[in-house]
Chains A and B, each alone.
Chain A
Amino acid sequence: MRRIWGSWTGRIGLVLVGGMTAAGVLSTVWTPYDPHVLLPSQRWKPISFTHPFGTDASGRDLFSLVISGAWTTARVVFLSTVIAAVIGMVLGILSAIAPRWIGEAMAHLIDVMIAIPALVLALVLVAGLGGSIVTISLAIGIAFGIVFARVIRVEAHKALTNDYIVAAHASGASTWRIAWRHVVPNIAPTIIVQLSLIAALTILTEAALSFLGLMPLATISWGRMLQDLQSTMTIHPLALVFPGIAVVLATLGFNLLGDGVREALDPQLKARGASAAIDPLLAPTAIGTDMP
């Protein structure tokens, strides 16, 4: 954590992500105005002390809407990332440790499923289960989880070629034990970085899905705000800027956080690379050089 804070990208990322989460949590207990109440008398108020971001066509306070939207985004990001992590790790690691033919079959299946876009999956799920934060997160989580599984499979495969995996087998460790004790810890840096990138993409996808109206009406989200405001874009362009900026900053936040985490973990990777590079120097001595 301190390492992440140590780099500029990580620091900005942490501030943006932290800020978004804090705003979201705050919106559950307090917002300046109730974002669900329509006040026609207050429509299109300009930016002022009472309405820092102004109001929309129904007289709702845009600032309250933006911080409430942060809560929706935070929940979708959390759920989607957890779902993607579970799907990706289970499928990815299983396909890497399974017997060859099962693993290959799973890999091909994963390749086919990657072809299904998150949007189409979301439309199907919303049609089947009804639009909600959970449905949207499920769609995003599954779509990204499949892509994530591909990455995990490759990384796990690489980790499995290590000598210490053979050594663990020689100690009688079961495949499951090896996966849990040796493979997961060694691909953890990749997992963390990939998940932070998935979180960033989730924000964009969620905004897109809400923009298309897949989120229920009662759920305040940045995508829906953009959709509401875009019809009056030429008359009130400033109103559109705030949810737009919120999406950009949140996405940027997760992207930078991902970079920060990568940088924080990198020196460790370098150190490991260096110790591996030593071994040709220690490696085979000619026959009979050692005659103690």
Chain B
Amino acid sequence: MTHIVGEPRQHHREHAARLLEVSDLTVRIGATTVVDHVSFAVDCGERLGIIGESGSGKTLSALSVIGLTPDVADVSGSVRFEGVELLGMPDRQIAKLRGDRIATVFQNPLTSLNPLMRVGRQISETLRIHRDIGRAKAAKAAVELAARVGLPDPARAVRAYPHQLSGGQRQRVGIAIAIAARPRLLIADEPTTALDVTVQAEIISLLDELIADEGTALLFITHDIALISQVARSLLVMRHGQVVEQGGVNDLIRTPQHPYTAQLVAAARATSTDRALP
């Protein structure tokens, strides 16, 4: 982002901390309001969790940020990223931010990778789109990224096709794709939902470690309140397209104000006897 020369320094500073600011975001599909006046903000390096049941509008809220809502959706409100309004921006321009400044990790690594393209190509694709680098350099970068996300034998892994990798390994590839261009904001849309329980923990700690290194901000979408307490400090609870409660993760778990939040916590406690929530 550019700022005008001679602009007061303080003004610049004020906005430097605020990375993403979503206000009054409303998404309508036909006559249905799927996201209803949702507002939240993410500061640089901050981690925000959005939790809610299926159909609560959490994924659609996140997709609105990067302009990937379905054609039929009518999006209104405001999405400001690094001080620039994204809603209404031509897709060609938002596309420059996607993958570069704002990256996304998707829910299902089985389907979000192209089955006919080698993993290394898919990892380096982001770099080839946004950076002016050649094939050889991109291939080298893919190996380095594969190593960073902990793929075993990275030099060989980049030559594999997605079906030759396990679910967890595939999600590591998904993460490698997302962090390739060192984004400022990472949107993780239920990145562990499609994985089995033991792998979930590995993926979460990997994400945690990678974004801590880079100071990347995280928008973590999930329906699992126990999971979110591992990753994020602040939390947004959504239901039927509306934000029902917002606050620090620990506060919300200890003293939920809204009955729905209380329900989520109770459900999480009921299904997990071996580990206690704070």
Interface residues in chain A, defined as those with a beta carbon under 8 Å from any beta carbon in chain B:
100, 162-164, 166-174, 177, 181-182, 185-186, 271-272, 275-276, 278-279, 282-292
Q: A276-B110, A283-B108, A291-B272 are in contact. List 7 more A-B contacts (CB 8 A).
A: A163-B111, A164-B115, A171-B98, A185-B116, A275-B163, A286-B271, A290-B226
Task: Give chain B interface residues in 72-129, CB to chain A under 8 Å.
Answer: 92, 95-100, 103-104, 106, 108, 110-117, 125-126, 129
Do A172 and B100 touch across chains, with their CB atoms under 8 A apart?
Answer: yes
* CB pairs A–B below 8 angstroms (28 shown): A164-B112, A164-B115, A166-B68, A167-B113, A168-B114, A169-B68, A170-B103, A170-B106, A171-B103, A172-B129, A173-B129, A182-B114, A186-B114, A272-B115, A275-B115, A275-B163, A282-B195, A283-B194, A285-B197, A287-B264, A287-B268, A288-B224, A288-B269, A288-B272, A290-B224, A290-B227, A291-B226, A291-B272
Does B201 interact with chain A (Cβ within 8 Å)?
yes
B-side contacts of A177, CB under 8 Å: 129
B249 to chain A, nearest CB (A): 14
Interface residues on B, range: 35 or more
B250 within 8 A of A: no
Residues of A within 8 A of B197 (CB): 285, 289-290, 292
**Count of CB-CB pairs between chains A and B under 8 Å:** 134
Which B190-233 residues have a C-beta within 8 angstroms of A?
192-197, 200-201, 204, 223-227, 230
B residues lining the A interface (CB < 8 Å): 66, 68, 71, 92, 95-100, 103-104, 106, 108, 110-117, 125-126, 129-130, 163, 167, 174, 177, 192-197, 200-201, 204, 223-227, 230, 264, 267-272, 274-275
Determine chain A's interface SS by DSSP, over half rule.
Answer: helix
Contact B111 A276 (CB under 8 A): yes
| B193→A163 contact, CB < 8 A | no
Give CA–CA (A174, B117) in the complex, Å: 17
Please measure, in the bound complex, the distance between the C-alpha atom of A292 and the C-alpha atom of B199, giving whole angstroms.
Answer: 10
Q: Which residues of the partner chain A approach B269 to less than 8 Å between Cβ atoms? A: 288
